C-alpha cells in the first residue's frame, strides 16, 4: 500500500498555521476533506470544495455538491475521485486549493508533496499553531480576535497550541 505525504496551510494568517500528514493513495477527496477537518481543528459545519487546474486557472472543482460551481467550471463528485486518480502521472509536488466556509472564506493551500511506499496510512506528521475558531469572521475577524477586539473570543483559546499527538484520526 502507498500513501501520500500532504501539507496543508491556511492563507492570509500570520504566523502560518499548517499541518503535514500521510493518507492512503486510495482515499477519496471526501476522505481527504474529513482528515483536513480533523488535523486543522475545524468542526465540519460549513460547505467546502477543492479547486485545481492549470496555472492560475483553478476551474476544476471536486466537492460534495455542484452548488458552488460557477459557470465554466467543471465538477467532480468528491466521493468518486481518489488521490491516486488525481495524481495519476503528474509530477509531485501537486498543489490544490481547499476552501472551507464560503462566508468566512478560509482558503488553504494543499500540497501533495510525495508518494511514500513505506508509509502506513493515516498519520499526523507535524504542524504549528491552533486553527482559528469556527465562525470568527475569516482571516480579518481572526486578526481582530488576536488583537483583542472581539469580546466573544473564548478565554481558553491558545493560538500557539497544537500537538499532533492529540489529533484523533
DSSP 87-143: HTTPPSSEEEEEEE-TTTTEEEEEEEEEEETT--SSEEEEEESPPPPTTS-HHHHHH
Question: What is the pLDDT at residue 123?
Answer: 93
**What are 101-155's pLDDT values in tens digits?**
988 999 999 999 999 988 678 999 999 999 998 888 888 888 887 776 666 666 6
CB 113 within 8 A of CB 22: no
Which residues touch 103 (CB under 8 Å, ≥6 apart)? 46, 138
Find the angle CA(162)-CA(83)-CA(122) to the nearest 5 degrees.
40
Question: What is the pLDDT at residue 143?
Answer: 84
Kindly compute the dihedral angle of the four CA atoms of residues 57, 22, 4, 133, in this order, to the nearest 10 degrees.
-10
Question: What is the pLDDT at residue 68?
Answer: 75
| CA separation for the pair 134, 145 (Å, rounded) | 12
pLDDT grade for 93, boundaries at 50, 70 and 90 = very high
pLDDT grade for 72, boundaries at 50, 70 and 90 = confident
Domains, the chain: 3-131+162-166 (3.10.290.30)
CB 3 within 8 A of CB 23: yes
Comparing 87 with 143, the larger pLDDT belongs to 87
User: b vs e for 68-99, b when ≥16 Cβ sit within 10 Å of the residue's Cβ?
Assistant: ebeeeeeebebeebbbeebeeeeeeebebbbb
**What are 23-66's pLDDT values in tens digits?**
999 999 999 999 999 999 999 989 999 999 877 778 888 898 87
Q: What is the C-alpha R_g of the chain? A: 16
Kindly state the average pLDDT of the residues 67-91: 90
Question: What is the pLDDT at residue 28?
Answer: 97
Comparing 84 with 118, the larger pLDDT belongs to 84
Query: Which range has highest mean pLDDT (6-10, 129-133, 161-165)?
Result: 6-10
Question: What is the pLDDT at residue 83?
Answer: 96
Amino acid at each position: 500500500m502507498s500513501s501520500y505525504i500532504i501539507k496543508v496551510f491556511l492563507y492570509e494568517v500570520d504566523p502560518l498555521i499548517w499541518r503535514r500528514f500521510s493518507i492512503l493513495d486510495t482515499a477519496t477527496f471526501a476522505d481527504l476533506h474529513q482528515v483536513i477537518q480533523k488535523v486543522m481543528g475545524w468542526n465540519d459545519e460549513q460547505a467546502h470544495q477543492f479547486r485545481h487546474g492549470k496555472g492560475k486557472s483553478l476551474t476544476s472543482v471536486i466537492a460534495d455538491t455542484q452548488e458552488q460551481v460557477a459557470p465554466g467550471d467543471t465538477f467532480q463528485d468528491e466521493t468518486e475521485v481518489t488521490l491516486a486518480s488525481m495524481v495519476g502521472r503528474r509530477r509531485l509536488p501537486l498543489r490544490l486549493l481547499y476552501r472551507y466556509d464560503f462566508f468566512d472564506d478560509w482558503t488553504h493551500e494543499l500540497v501533495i508533496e510525495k508518494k511514500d511506499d513505506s508509509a502506513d496510512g493515516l498519520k499526523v506528521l507535524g504542524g504549528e499553531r491552533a486553527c482559528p475558531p469556527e465562525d470568527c469572521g475569516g482571516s480579518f475577524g481572526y486578526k481582530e480576535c488576536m488583537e483583542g477586539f472581539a469580546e466573544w473570543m473564548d478565554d481558553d483559546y491558545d493560538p500557539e497550541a497544537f500537538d499532533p499527538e492529540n489529533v484523533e484520526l
